[in-house]
């Protein structure tokens, strides 16, 4: 806003400066100082600012009677009266809307025009915001209907596109004209004002057009009869039965016999390279069978690898992935096929190897990858799975005796798989549901994928006869022993149509990823949040809500669990047939667009009637194609973008909210991201270096920055500590944060911080991050390089992070008995679940550990321990995994009995001495223990007493910390002692020796 009195005071100062010669020098002319609309004094060629100031003082008095108050200004009430400050603002604005002064007619007119225009556009933006909410609610109605008339479908599609454009238009206005008042400087040029008015007018026209379209759309809606349905929501945890089905598929889907057959083929005495193929159509369980065989026989080979092939594989990337599986890192991705193949052949030349090539689609891919498999006469094996019989035959060199053809499950196995998923292994199907169950299973045709999918749908619904009958009738599948691909898609589509509305966009978003990609849960949830798919109506913590969404998709078998930990599914994959369904829906709804090459991009943009909203180039080979500005305009509306490598200019994507880059090698230049104003989530995964912009301050909406697996070319931008919404910061290990870490109040996750490189202020600033839930940091050698002052500051700060759920500290520090930092904390970490202090050696087990009732994973290193310390750890009620290192252990044996370690599944004990002589187990001890590792420098060849009481024990591993001939001999004695002691154990646990 304009304050003429304030300008007058400034003009007086300017006039004094000019008179004293402080403002103008010999190179300054009157024309350079002449504002638009001001005339130079004709007598001496100078501007009389003081004279203008006096006129401005008179103007403030002149405009006082005009009390026009703008709608955007709020009236402050003081004892029922309008404040004098607001009166002055109102008077000033009345001038801006009507009274022109001799100061600058053009200037004031332009400001007035912008203010009025902005006020009108703000009203339109408010209307669009309300209309956008109404549209989103309206769009839920047709989504609940299985089928729409063509007219209704077109109306829905048009309305969806309008909502996207509305949101972008509102974002444009907020970015450029988001302030409440017009604030100008005295020397504004007419050109700048004219430019702003043109931009404002353009946005105004766009809003008016969208408003008209919305009104017309509402009118069209009245001609369609759409009933509203309400979905109910609640807290969702992973169904514990489902991961068991995937993990124990061998015994649940009837592949015991097939696994035995294929294993025997691979483990015969033939010394020549042998290739065995598993063939069958999608959903039969080829990959499950191959994985079970692989796990069963892998220990008989020198090196092993399991690698999946996509429908359109990038063979260079594929071969490099195979190199990584074998641990070959020395060469770059720039080598040609011949060089990569030669590296693989050289590595495998003298080894007996086992390689599984999963989901092979065509002969050309096999012809390329098989060149890397030398026939070295060492009895090496390759196992191929494919849907195509010709490909299976070519891979096996036309040896039909090496081709195993998958068959559907028989009736008994189908019923068992279905029943275990719906009711659990210990519960039988109720009699009133047996007939309808038989009909449903008949329509699934013995396909494990179809059975698990439909069973998962029924497991999440009420068990009523009427509901199950409705599901059966929805399966429009002919009774046939081998359903066609179309029939299977119908079963999968039924599961999609029964998804609650809040899960559909989340499910379709999985189409951003390539086939067989392992998708990390936490990354996916952050992308959903950035896109606005996660609703605060389902809970205040969006990350927790997003994880519930993920768990529900797991429970419904829409995604398959991959990595699990402590009952949580941490990553998933999407079955290729489910991915086909996703991509089909994405085309129908213009949700995600895919491109595999530059021709696909051009074809996509020319054929698609709607704008591209999300673009995945995840399977696109890197090429040197060029793109014109017309393509850039069509891509400007993209909200989520996934690259294998940035091959398109990032500045094209004006409205980008999510940017995901997967690039194995090479430098990635991210300097342009600073101009992506709407960016909320940036994730880069690369073994190469990345270059960030020097400033990130423009990214006011950024919530997630995940570059953990990359190498920074330079330090992190200094203004990152000022980003107002940054909640998840995952940096490369060893990163130094700039000063001001205490400003990052909203941080929930901080990884990669290197405290050895940081200042004392950074240590102290950590205490301000009270919202932190996860902290992962390295400290180097604190005592030697940094001094105890910083150690004390770090311990003090960590002790104040009361909301921590995960704390990981790597580095070397030994606490002394008279100076314990972390060991002497007072009641910290009440909510912590994961605590890993790998090389921060505490003096003793800290007493505050006994209050950590949520702790599930503990990695602890102490100087001394005692039986009481072990009992303290054993009383932790939620502890599932424990890695405990003690430099010195007491002489007396620690006997563990009923009540200690009630849910512990994994125990790793390390000490210089032989820890096997230190532990003993009474009846009822460690009732859930499955894996027990012993690591020692000196083995005595003894075995803990009471091993027979560990009823669920499956594996024991003995490990020598120091390698010498004597230690290896003693380790072999320890292995033999364990094997002898466990001969009568009911589980017959395996014993593994490592050194």
Where residue 713 sits, what CATH number does that domain have? 3.80.10.10
Instruction: Report which of residues 709 and 632 the model is more confident about.
Output: 709
Q: How far apart are CA 873 and CA 362, in angstroms?
A: 55
Considering the domain architecture, whether residues 596 and 578 belong to the same structural domain is answered as: no
pLDDT, residue 601, reads: 75
Q: Does 881 share its domain with 979?
A: yes
E strand map for 283-361: 303-308, 353-360
Report the predicted TM-score, pTM, of the whole model to 2 decimal places: 0.71
Interacting residues of 501 by C-beta distance below 8 A, sequence separation 6+: 140, 143, 144, 231
The DSSP output letter for 779 is E
- On the 0-12 / 13-18 / 19+ scale of CB atoms within 10 A, 490 is middle
Mean pLDDT of 259-281: 91
Distant-in-sequence contacts of 148-154, Cβ < 8 A, 24+ apart: 149/224, 151/223, 151/224, 152/224, 152/226
Note whether residue 975 is domain-resident.
yes
Is 604 found in the same domain as 719? yes
Whether 76 shows a pLDDT value over 60: the answer reads no
| Selection from 834, 829, 882 nearest residue 860 by Cα | 882
Is residue 289 within 8 A of residue 261, CB to CB? The reply is no
pLDDT of residue 823: 61
* Range among 83-87, 126-130, 283-287, 309-313 with highest mean pLDDT value: 283-287
The yes-or-no verdict on residue 881 having pLDDT over 90 is: yes
pLDDT at 483 over 70: no
The per-residue DSSP string of 407-462 comes to: ----HHHHHHHHHHHHT-TT-PPPGGGHHHHHHHHHHHTT-HHHHHHHHHHHHTS-
Distances from the Cα of 422 to the Cα of 14, 241, 990, angstroms = 83, 9, 33
437-447 pLDDT, tens digit per residue, is 888 888 888 88
Tens digits of per-residue pLDDT, 361-402? 888 889 889 999 999 888 999 999 998 888 898 999 878 889
Closest CA to 574 of 640, 509, 517: 517
Among the listed ranges 206-220, 449-463, 767-781, 789-803, which one has the minimum average pLDDT value? 206-220
- Asked if the structure places residue 655 within a domain, the reply is yes
Higher pLDDT, 633 or 963: 633
CATH number at residue 263: 3.40.50.300
- Which residues are within 8 A (CB) of 966 and not within 5 positions of it... i.e. 6 or more apart? none
**pLDDT confidence of 410, banded at 50, 70, 90?**
confident
| 712 shares its domain with 779 | no
CA-wise closest residue to 370 among 511, 850, 362, 311: 362
Whether 764 and 865 share a structural domain:
no
User: Is residue 874 one of the residues assigned to a domain?
Assistant: yes
Question: How many residues does this entry show for the chain?
Answer: 995
Same-domain status, 699 and 747: no
Which of 405, 440, 472 terminates a domain? The answer is 405
The pLDDT, as a whole number, for residue 524 is: 97
Lowest-pLDDT range of 66-75, 347-356, 645-654: 66-75
Structure tokens given for 366: 């096999």
Q: Which residues form the domain of 295?
A: 255-405
pLDDT, mean of residues 115-144: 57
Q: Which among 680, 643, 683 has a CA at the least distance from the CA of 663?
A: 643
Mean pLDDT along residues 21-36: 38
State how far the Cα of 179 lies from the Cα of 186, in Å rounded to an integer.
19
Residue 849 and residue 328: Cα distance in Å, rounded? 42
Query: Average pLDDT, stretch 916-933?
Result: 87
What would the 3-class secondary structure string for 854-912 be? CCCEEEEEEEECCHHHHHHHHCCCCCCEEEEEEEECCCCCEEECCCCCCCCCEEEEEEC
In 10 A of CB 400, how many CB atoms? 10
Whether 507 and 578 have beta carbons less than 8 Å apart is answered as: no
- Tell me: pLDDT of 88 over 50: no
The structure tokens listed for 740 are: 């001001």
Answer whether residue 784 is part of any domain.
Answer: yes
How far apart (Å, rounded) are the C-alpha atoms in residues 547 and 524?
9
Q: Which two tokens stand for residue 626?
A: 């060029």
pLDDT classification of 215: cutoffs 50, 70, 90: low
* CB neighbour class for 92 (10 Å; exposed up to 12, middle 13-18, buried from 19): buried
Question: How does residue 703 score in pLDDT terms, banded at 50, 70 and 90?
Answer: very high
pLDDT over 90 at 765, yes or no: no
State which of 709, 726, 743 marks the end of a domain. Answer: 726
Return the minimum-mean-pLDDT range out of 520-529, 719-728, 767-776, 918-927.
Answer: 918-927
Residue 479 pLDDT: 41
DSSP SS3 for 954: coil
pLDDT at 516 exceeding the cut of 70: yes
Residue 209: per-residue pLDDT: 67
DSSP-assigned states of every residue in 640-665: EEEESS--S-GGG-TT--EEEEEESS
Q: Which of 732, 737, 683 is nearest to 709 (CA)?
A: 732
Closest C-alpha among 551, 525, 524 to residue 235: 551
Q: Is the pLDDT of residue 510 over 90?
A: yes
Backbone torsions φ then ψ of 461, nearest 5 degrees: -115, 170
CB 101 within 8 A of CB 108: yes
Torsional sign, CA 691, 694, 697, 698: negative
Q: Do the Cβ atoms of 574 and 592 come closer than 8 Å?
A: no
For all residues of the chain together, what is the average pLDDT? 75
Per-residue pLDDT, averaged over 746-754, amounts to 91
Q: What phi and psi, each to the nearest 5 degrees, are found at residue 359?
A: 65, 55
Q: Is 239 exposed, middle or buried (0-12, 13-18, 19+ CB in 10 A)?
A: buried
Residue that wins the pLDDT comparison between 135 and 779: 779
Per-residue burial over 291-318, b if 16 or more Cβ lie within 10 Å, else e, is: bbbbebbeeebebbbbbbbbbebbbbbb
Q: Is residue 14 part of a domain?
A: no
Let me know: does 258 contact 276? Beta carbons within 8 Å: no
Q: Which residue has the higher pLDDT, 216 or 435?
A: 435
Q: Is the dihedral of CA 824, 826, 829, 831 positive or negative?
A: positive
Tell me the mean pLDDT in the region 632-651.
82
Residues 720 and 750 both lie in one domain: no
- Tokens encoding 396: 């096996």
Domain count, the chain: 6
Among 10-24, 382-396, 692-706, the least confident range: 10-24
Quick one: 651 and 714 in the same domain? yes
What pLDDT was estimated at residue 537?
A: 83
Among 169-183, 268-282, 972-986, where is mean pLDDT lowest? Answer: 169-183
Percent of the chain at pLDDT > 90 equals: 22
Examine residue 165 and state whether it is found in any structural domain, yes or no. Answer: yes
Spatial contact of 535 and 502, defined as CB atoms under 8 Å apart:
yes
50 in a domain, yes or no?
Answer: no
Per-residue pLDDT, averaged over 838-858, amounts to 86
Dist. CA 565–CA 806, nearest whole Å: 14
Report the DSSP pairing between strands 519-520 and 571-573.
antiparallel
pLDDT of residue 494: 81
Q: pLDDT > 70: what percent of the chain? A: 68
Q: Of the ranges 35-39, 595-599, 652-656, which is most confident?
A: 652-656
Rg of the chain on CA atoms, in Å: 35
Same domain, 742 and 802: yes
Alpha helices (runs of H) in 510-624, residue ranges in sequence order: 521-531, 542-555, 576-589, 598-607
Check: CB of residue 38 under 8 Å from CB of residue 106.
no
Q: Rounded CA gap, 883 and 838, in Å?
A: 9
Do residues 554 and 495 touch, judged by C-beta distance below 8 A? no
Q: Which two tokens stand for residue 984?
A: 């009568």
What sign results for the dihedral spanned by CA atoms 419, 422, 426, 430?
negative
For residue 206, pLDDT beyond 70: no
Q: Does pLDDT of 618 surpass 50?
A: yes
Q: Where are the alpha helices (DSSP H) in 222-254?
A: 241-247, 249-252
Q: pLDDT band for position 449 (50/70/90)? A: confident
Retrieve residue 170's tokens.
Answer: 């509102």
User: What confidence tier does 203 reach under pLDDT thresholds 50, 70, 90?
Assistant: low
Residue bearing the bigger pLDDT, 276 or 458 = 276
pLDDT of amino acid 488? 75
573, part of any domain: yes
One domain for residues 390 and 260:
yes
Q: How far is the first Cα of the chain from the last one, in angstroms, to the nearest whole number?
A: 76
Please state which of the ranges 183-187, 287-291, 344-348 shows the lowest mean pLDDT: 183-187
pLDDT number for residue 237: 61
Do 419 and 531 lie in a common domain? yes
DSSP per-residue codes, 85-135 = HHHHHHHHHHHHHTPPPSS-HHHHHHHHHHHHHHHHHHHHHHHHHHHHHHH
Work out the average pLDDT over 539-563.
90
pLDDT of residue 47: 42
Mean pLDDT of 847-876: 89
Confidence of residue 129 (pLDDT cuts 50, 70, 90): low
d(CA 806, CA 819): 25
Shared domain check, 332 and 319:
yes
> SS3 letters for 588-615?
HHCCCEECCCHHHHHHHHHHCCCCCCEE
pLDDT single digits (tens) 657-670: 999 998 776 788 89
Residue where a domain stops, chosen among 843, 870, 893? 843
């Amino acid at each position: 806003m304009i304050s003429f009195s304030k300008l007058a005071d400034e003009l007086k100062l300017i006039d004094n400066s000019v008179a004293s010669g402080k403002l103008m020098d010999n190179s300054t002319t009157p024309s350079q100082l002449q504002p638009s609309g001001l005339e130079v004094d004709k007598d001496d060629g100078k501007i009389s600012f003081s004279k203008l100031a006096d006129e401005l003082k008179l103007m403030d008095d002149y405009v006082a009677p005009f009390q026009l108050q703008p709608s955007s200004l709020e009236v402050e009430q003081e004892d029922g009266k309008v404040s004098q400050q607001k009166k002055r603002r109102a008077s000033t604005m009345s001038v801006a809307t009507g009274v022109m002064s001799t100061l600058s007619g053009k200037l004031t007119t332009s400001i007035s025009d912008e203010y009025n225009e902005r006020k009108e556009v703000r009203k339109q933006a408010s209307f669009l915001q309300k209309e956008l909410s109404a549209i989103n609610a309206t769009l839920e109605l047709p989504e609940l209907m299985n089928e729409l008339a063509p007219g209704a479908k077109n109306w829905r599609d048009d309305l969806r596109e309008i909502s996207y454009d509305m949101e972008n238009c509102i974002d444009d206005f907020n970015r450029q004209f988001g302030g409440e008042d017009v604030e100008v400087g005295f020397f504004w040029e007419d050109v700048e004002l004219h430019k702003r008015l043109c931009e404002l007018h353009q946005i105004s026209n766009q809003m008016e057009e969208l408003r008209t379209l919305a009104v017309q759309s509402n009118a069209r809606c009245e001609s369609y009869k759409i009933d509203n349905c309400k979905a109910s929501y609640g807290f969702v945890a992973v169904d514990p039965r489902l991961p068991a089905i995937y993990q124990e598929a061998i015994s649940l889907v009837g592949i015991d016999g097939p696994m035995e057959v294929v294993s025997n083929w691979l483990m015969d005495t033939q010394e020549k390279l042998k290739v065995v193929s598993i063939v069958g159509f999608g959903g039969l369980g080829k990959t499950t069978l191959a994985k079970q065989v692989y796990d069963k026989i892998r220990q008989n080979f020198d090196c092993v690898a399991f690698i999946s092939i996509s429908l359109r594989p990038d063979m260079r990337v594929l071969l490099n992935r195979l190199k990584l599986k074998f641990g070959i890192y020395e060469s770059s991705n720039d080598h040609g096929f011949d060089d990569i193949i030669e590296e693989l052949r050289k590595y495998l030349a003298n080894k007996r190897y086992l390689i599984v090539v999963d989901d092979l689609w065509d002969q050309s891919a096999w012809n390329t990858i098989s060149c890397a498999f030398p026939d070295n006469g060492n009895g090496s094996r390759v196992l191929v799975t494919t849907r195509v019989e010709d490909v299976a035959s070519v891979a096996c060199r036309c040896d039909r005796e090496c081709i195993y053809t998958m068959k559907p499950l028989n009736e008994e196995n189908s019923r068992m798989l279905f029943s275990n998923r719906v009711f659990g292994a210990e519960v039988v199907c109720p009699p009133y549901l047996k007939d309808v169950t038989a009909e449903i299973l008949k329509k699934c045709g013995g396909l494990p994928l179809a059975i698990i999918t439909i069973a998962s749908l029924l497991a999440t619904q009420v068990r009523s006869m009427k509901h199950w009958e409705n599901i059966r009738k929805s399966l429009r599948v002919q009774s046939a022993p081998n359903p066609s691909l179309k029939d299977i898609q119908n079963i999968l589509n039924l599961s999609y149509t029964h998804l609650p509305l809040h899960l559909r966009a989340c499910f379709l978003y999985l189409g951003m990823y390539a086939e067989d990609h392992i998708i990390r849960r936490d990354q996916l949830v952050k992308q959903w949040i950035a896109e606005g798919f996660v609703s605060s109506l389902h809970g205040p913590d969006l990350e927790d809500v997003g994880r519930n969404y993920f768990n529900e998709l797991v429970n419904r078998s829409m995604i398959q669990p991959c990595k699990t930990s402590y009952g949580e599914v941490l990553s998933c994959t999407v079955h290729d047939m489910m991915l086909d369904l996703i991509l089909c829906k994405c085309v129908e709804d213009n949700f995600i667009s895919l491109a595999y090459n530059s021709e696909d991009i051009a074809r996509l943009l020319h054929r698609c009637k709607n704008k591209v909203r999300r673009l995945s180039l995840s399977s696109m080979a890197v090429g040197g194609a060029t793109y014109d500005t017309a393509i850039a305009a069509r891509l400007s509306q993209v909200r989520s973008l996934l690259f294998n490598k940035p091959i398109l200019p990032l500045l094209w994507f004006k409205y980008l909210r999510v940017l995901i880059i997967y690039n194995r090698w090479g430098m990635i230049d991210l300097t342009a991201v600073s101009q992506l104003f709407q960016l909320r989530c940036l994730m880069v995964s690369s073994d190469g270096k990345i270059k960030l912009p020097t400033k990130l301050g423009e990214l006011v909406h950024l919530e997630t920055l995940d570059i953990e697996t990359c190498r920074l070319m330079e330090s992190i931008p200094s203004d990152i500590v000022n980003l107002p919404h940054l909640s998840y910061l995952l940096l490369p290990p060893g990163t130094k944060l700039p000063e001001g870490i205490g400003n990052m109040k909203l941080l929930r996750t901080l990884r990669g911080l290197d405290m050895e490189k940081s200042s004392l202020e950074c240590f102290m600033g950590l205490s301000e991050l009270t919202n932190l839930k996860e902290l992962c940091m390295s400290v180097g050698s604190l005592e030697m390089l940094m001094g105890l002052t910083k150690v004390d500051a770090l311990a003090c700060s960590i002790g104040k992070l009361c909301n921590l759920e995960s704390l990981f500290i790597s580095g070397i520090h030994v606490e002394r008995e008279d100076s314990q930092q972390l060991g002497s904390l007072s009641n910290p970490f009440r909510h912590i679940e994961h605590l890993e202090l790998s090389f921060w050696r505490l003096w003793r087990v800290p007493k505050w550990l006994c209050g950590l009732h949520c702790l599930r994973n503990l990695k602890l290193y102490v100087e001394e321990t005692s039986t009481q310390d072990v009992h303290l750890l054993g009383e932790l009620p939620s502890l599932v995994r424990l890695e405990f290192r003690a430099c010195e252990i007491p002489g007396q044996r620690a006997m563990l009995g009923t009540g200690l370690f009630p849910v512990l599944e994994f125990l790793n004990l390390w000490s210089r001495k032989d820890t096997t002589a230190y532990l003993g187990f009474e009846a009822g001890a460690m009732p859930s223990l499955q894996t027990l590792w012993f690591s020692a420098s000196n083995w005595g060849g003894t075995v803990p007493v009471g091993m027979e009481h560990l009823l669920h024990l499956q594996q024991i591993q003995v490990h020598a910390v120091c390698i010498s001939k004597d230690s290896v001999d003693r380790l072999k004695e320890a292995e033999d002692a364990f094997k002898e002691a466990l001969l009568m154990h009911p589980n017959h646990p395996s014993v593994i020796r490592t050194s």
